[in-house]
Amino acid sequence: MSETTEWEGIAYKQVFDEETLGLERRKAHDPDLSINELENILESLYVSEGNNYVGRGPVGDIIMSATIAAYEQFIGEWKREVRG
């Protein structure tokens, strides 16, 4: 990875890891949390990603992308867990 884009990978991983940890904690401590609720949040993230009405810039794009990826992965893993 070149020096000029290395920060992007680091930032993406940091946001992804923090979002995943937050989702894990929420699932562990919120008995009312459901896959459906997380899917609704993910849908709103997709809408926000598409809007980009204020011009997020590269940092905002990385945050949005990593957050969406964390939700997608977490939901997918939870669904596999439920199916057993």
Asked if residue 54 has pLDDT above 70, the reply is no
Cα separation of 20 and 31, whole Å? Answer: 18
Percent of the chain whose pLDDT exceeds 90: 80
Cα separation of 71 and 66, whole Å? Answer: 9
- Spans of all domains in the chain: 3-83
Cα separation of 70 and 6, whole Å? Answer: 20
39-66 burial code (b ≥16 CB/10 A, e <16): eeebeebeeeeeeeeeeeeeeeebbbbb
For position 34, what pLDDT does the model report?
A: 98
For position 50, what pLDDT does the model report?
A: 84
pLDDT band at 47; cut points 50, 70, 90: very high
Mean pLDDT, residues 37-47 taken together: 97
